[in-house]
Structure 1
Amino acid sequence: MSEDVTTDRNQYLTFTLEDELFALDIFSVREVLEFTSITRVPRTPEYMRGIINVRGNAVPVIDLNMKFGRTRTSQTISTAIIIVEVELEGESTIIGALADSVQEVFELKEDQIDPPPKMGTSIRTDFIRGMGKHGDGFIMLLDIDKIFSSEELSTLQSVACGQRPSEAIMAE
């Protein structure tokens, strides 16, 4: 009986970017780490802060604030790195997403989620899965698999593998 109650619910990890609340599907999140030293990789996009060592593996770290056209994330006691699995064209990549703070795992029923807002054809919103209702405000539910283009993910994979990013990607 309890299974029936939870089938119409979705769990999301909520986090802040500046003063706004965002969320990722909990199934795309591997773990949350405290801010740690990030090694900058030359000739990578500005939003790519560098790489970190996660149990012997080089994991690229993306500053979500910068990716979304905001200011660079400052290091505070609350700053966190969300380790996520991104999938594009059947290929999986592990990345770190830098956030101002991680809040909680939040459960939403389907009727608490509105579709993404229509912003016109010139504004890309395909990476927004929906808008979760939270009190008087909203939680922007992100689709981590659509935040990055295939070219950007290729750059992230090559950096994590110690290869030089292609010149075409760097020109963007």
Structure 2
Amino acid sequence: MKLEIDQTVEKLKQVWKDCGTSKEEQDLFWSHCKPIYSPIALQEMKKEIASAALRRERGLKIAKLIQERQDFIKKLIEFEEAAKDPGRLTGSSIRLLEEEKFRKSALPNLKKMENVIRKQLNEYEEVSERPYYVKDRPYQEILDEEVKDRLSNSSVLVFFAKK
């Protein structure tokens, strides 16, 4: 039984990591799961693995959206760096038109991505009865802070380039 419980503990830790379960939630679970080497604790761990696996599946979509947003922000930063190069003005006018099109669409596209993420976060929270965590913080808080910082800055591109 000890080996099975040890393996179950490791599996649970991995599933928690994959679905972003906060340290506080993990600690709360362990505080109610004593003694750890008992059939009841094993049963509780297996139930938590099933529950966390469902959260993980729902969370994978959110994680993908977050990554897409981060990639887009990286593209914004690269764009801003390239826009500082005066040599680009001597190139093709088509490239300048593409730059202008990107510049005009960047903020609306970013806001659209953030709205989709917020919707998914709300659905996740309704179903899971807990927020979606990234690095032991609800991602909604992280996103709100980033948006607030961006809103207090005059240029989205300048804001992200400073980070």
Q: TM-score range by the shorter chain?
A: under 0.3
The structure with the greater share of residues assigned to strand is: 1
Q: TM-score, normalised by structure 1?
A: 0.22
Q: Which has the larger radius of gyration?
A: 2
